[in-house]
């Protein structure tokens, strides 16, 4: 017993994190390595794989549909995340004040965040229906022309962004609200005594105080938006044509509709490095801003 106790005391710094390291190896590193191995093969599901080296990556770089997926991925992300940040900040500032029914309103606004993404996508698909959807009913009630929404190649990405904004703005509001509640009230009291207006207090006290929380929310939502799959695939399947086909939707269709597992794996490797690169750049920007 004493020898076992001595062993654990001597190697405690390695033994305690070992379960976590094993879990990371099994759940993260293993699938990534397996995906990379598959990407090096020309593998039609159901047939034996053939080693082709980096041919799948070269094919992707010359594939017009790959670049369309990259463009749509960034278009969706760059449109959705800024809108969510602005609306989330506005909601957080509102909920940082006292007003009647605040608890009920806050609960209602946070509901989209806890709903199932596929269920949300199905409901919005019905709402987008050009003939029967409630959105066109509202437009007609306001005297505006009907819209094709996700059936229009020019409107499909903004329409999908609307769904993403509706679903994930509450999460940003929640993060920023927690940061706002940590700002000492004395700061605002001192600013008011010095004659600062509400806008000046917001610009010079509120925003600098919650800058770290804003950057964290920006990183979390950007990484998640780059990977968005469920609402896009359920509502449009990447259509009309390939107008809303993001990189991961293209990879899914390549793997499970065209059964090209090797090429699909190479697309996902590109997506992984794309997300990783954006996350590293945002993190470097956060550190540089300190």
pLDDT in tens, 52-108: 989 999 999 999 999 999 999 999 999 999 999 999 999 999 888 887 877 788 788
**Residue 290 pLDDT class (50, 70, 90 cuts):** low
Rounded to whole angstroms, how far apart are CA atoms 254 and 275?
A: 20
Cα distances (Å, whole numbers) of residue 132 to 35, 125, 138: 42, 11, 11
Contact 206, 183 (CB under 8 A): yes
Closest CA to 250 of 64, 112, 82: 64
Rounded to whole angstroms, how far apart are CA atoms 7 and 15?
A: 10
Closest CA to 110 of 178, 50, 167: 167
**Residues 10-67: tens digit of each pLDDT:** 777 788 888 888 888 888 888 889 999 999 999 888 888 899 989 999 999 999 999 9
What predicted TM-score, i.e. pTM, was given to this entire model? 0.87
When the pLDDT of each residue in the chain is averaged and rounded to a whole number, the result is 89
């Amino acid at each position: 017993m004493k020898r076992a106790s001595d062993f654990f005391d001597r190697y405690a710094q390695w033994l305690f994190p070992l379960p976590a390291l094993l879990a990371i190896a099994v759940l993260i590193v293993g699938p990534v390595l397996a995906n990379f191995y598959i990407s090096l093969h020309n593998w039609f599901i159901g047939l034996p794989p053939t080693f082709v080296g980096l041919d799948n990556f070269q094919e992707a770089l010359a594939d017009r549909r790959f670049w369309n997926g990259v463009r749509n991925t960034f278009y969706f992300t760059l449109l959705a995340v800024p809108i969510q940040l602005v609306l989330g900040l506005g909601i957080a500032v509102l909920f940082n004040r006292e007003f009647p029914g605040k608890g009920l309103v806050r609960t209602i606004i946070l509901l989209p965040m806890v709903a199932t993404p596929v269920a949300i996508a199905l409901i919005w698909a019905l709402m987008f229906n050009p003939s029967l959807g409630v959105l066109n009913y509202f437009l007609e009630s306001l005297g505006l022309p009907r819209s094709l929404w996700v059936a229009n190649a020019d409107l499909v990405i903004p329409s999908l962004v609307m769904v993403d904004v509706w679903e994930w703005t509450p999460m940003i509001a929640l993060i920023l609200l927690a940061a706002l509640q940590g700002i000492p009230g004395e700061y605002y009291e001192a600013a008011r005594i010095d004659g600062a207006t509400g806008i000046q207090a917001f610009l010079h006290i509120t925003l600098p105080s919650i800058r770290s929380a804003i950057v964290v929310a920006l990183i979390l939502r950007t990484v998640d938006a780059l990977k968005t799959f469920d609402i896009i695939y359920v509502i449009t399947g990447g259509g009309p044509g390939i107008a809303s086909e993001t990189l991961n939707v293209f990879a899914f269709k390549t793997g499970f509709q065209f059964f090209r597992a090797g090429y699909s794996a190479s697309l996902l490797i590109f997506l992984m490095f794309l997300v990783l690169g954006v996350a590293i750049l945002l993190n470097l920007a956060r550190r540089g801003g300190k």
